[in-house]
C-alpha cells in the first residue's frame, strides 16, 4: 500500500509543478485565468482618429497555415495584454483597436488554450506612445505540419509599418472580445 501512496504523491507534485510553470506569464501579460469569447465581423468600420491626448494601438492577428488548414477545425484565439492586463483578443485573421495614454507601454500576446504547451506561446514588445499617433502590431500565428499529427506552432508579436498595418486591417475582420465569467 505504501508504494501506491508514494506514486500518487509524486504524480500530484508533478501536476502541481506543471500547472505552476504553465501559468507563469511575463509581467506585460494579464492573469492566466482570464479567457475571452471572441466574435469576428467581416465588415470593417471606418478608420478612427486617435482620441484627443491619446494614441491608438491596432492589434492584428494573422494566421499562416499552409496545408494545415485541412486539419484545423477552428482559428486560433490570441489574447493581448498591455501593461499587465488583458485588453482583448482576436480569433483568426482579425483585429481590434485600443486607445492608450502617451508614454512607455509593454505589450504581450498569448495563445489562449487549455494546452499547457500552447499557453507557453508568448510574444512581447514595448514602445513609447505619442499622442495622436496610431501603432500597428501583428500577432503572427504559424501552424505547419511536420509529420503525421504533429505540427510546428509559433507565435510572434511584431510592429507593422503604417502601410502594412492598414493593409492587414483592410483584409481582416473586426474582433469583439468578452471576458468569460
What is the rounded end-to-end Cα distance, in angstroms, of the chain? 42
Q: Specify the pLDDT at position 136.
A: 96
Residue 132: pLDDT band (50, 70, 90) is very high
Alpha carbons 56 and 62: distance in angstroms, whole number: 19
CA distances to 29, 43, 63, 108 from 114, rounded to whole Å, are 17, 30, 19, 18
Alpha carbons 156 and 109: distance in angstroms, whole number: 8
16 inside domain: no
Name which residue leads in pLDDT, 20 or 29.
Answer: 29
Residue in 136, 83, 81 with CA at minimum distance from that of residue 110: 81
Alpha carbons 52 and 54: distance in angstroms, whole number: 6
164 inside domain: yes
Alpha carbons 79 and 91: distance in angstroms, whole number: 9
175 inside domain: yes
State CA 86 to chain mean position distance.
9
Query: Three-state DSSP class for 33?
Result: coil
**Domain residues for 130?**
26-179
Please give the tally of structural domains in the chain: 1
Provide mean pLDDT across the span 9-33. 63
Alpha carbons 173 and 41: distance in angstroms, whole number: 5
Q: Specify the pLDDT at position 67.
A: 55
H or E element at residue 57 = strand 55-64
pTM over 0.95: no
34 inside domain: yes
14 inside domain: no
Contacts for 171 with CB less than 8 Å, ≥ 6 apart: 93
139 inside domain: yes
22-26, 28-32, 65-69, 82-86 — most confident range: 82-86
10 inside domain: no
Q: Are strands 134-147 and 55-64 parallel, antiparallel or unpaired?
A: parallel
Alpha carbons 102 and 91: distance in angstroms, whole number: 28
Alpha carbons 143 and 141: distance in angstroms, whole number: 7
Residue with cell 505504501: 2
Q: Which three cell numbers stand for residue 20?
A: 505552476
2-6, 7-11, 173-177 — most confident range: 173-177
111 inside domain: yes
Q: Specify the pLDDT at position 120.
A: 77
Amino acid at each position: 500500500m505504501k508504494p501506491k501512496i508514494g506514486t500518487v504523491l509524486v504524480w500530484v507534485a508533478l501536476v502541481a509543478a506543471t500547472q505552476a510553470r504553465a501559468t507563469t506569464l511575463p509581467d506585460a501579460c494579464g492573469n492566466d485565468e482570464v479567457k475571452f469569447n471572441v466574435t469576428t465581423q467581416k465588415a470593417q468600420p471606418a478608420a478612427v482618429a486617435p482620441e484627443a491626448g491619446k494614441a491608438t494601438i491596432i492589434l492584428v492577428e494573422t494566421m499562416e497555415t499552409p496545408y494545415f488548414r485541412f486539419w484545423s477545425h477552428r482559428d486560433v484565439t490570441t489574447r493581448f495584454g498591455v501593461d499587465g492586463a488583458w485588453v482583448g483578443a482576436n480569433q483568426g485573421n482579425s483585429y481590434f483597436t485600443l486607445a492608450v495614454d502617451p508614454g512607455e507601454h509593454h505589450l504581450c500576446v498569448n495563445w489562449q488554450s487549455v494546452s499547457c504547451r500552447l499557453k507557453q506561446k508568448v510574444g512581447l514588445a514595448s514602445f513609447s506612445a505619442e499622442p495622436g499617433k496610431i501603432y500597428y502590431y501583428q500577432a503572427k500565428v504559424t501552424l505547419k505540419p511536420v509529420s503525421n499529427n504533429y505540427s510546428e506552432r509559433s507565435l510572434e508579436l511584431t510592429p507593422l509599418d503604417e502601410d502594412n498595418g492598414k493593409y492587414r486591417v483592410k483584409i481582416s475582420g473586426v474582433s469583439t472580445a468578452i471576458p468569460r465569467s
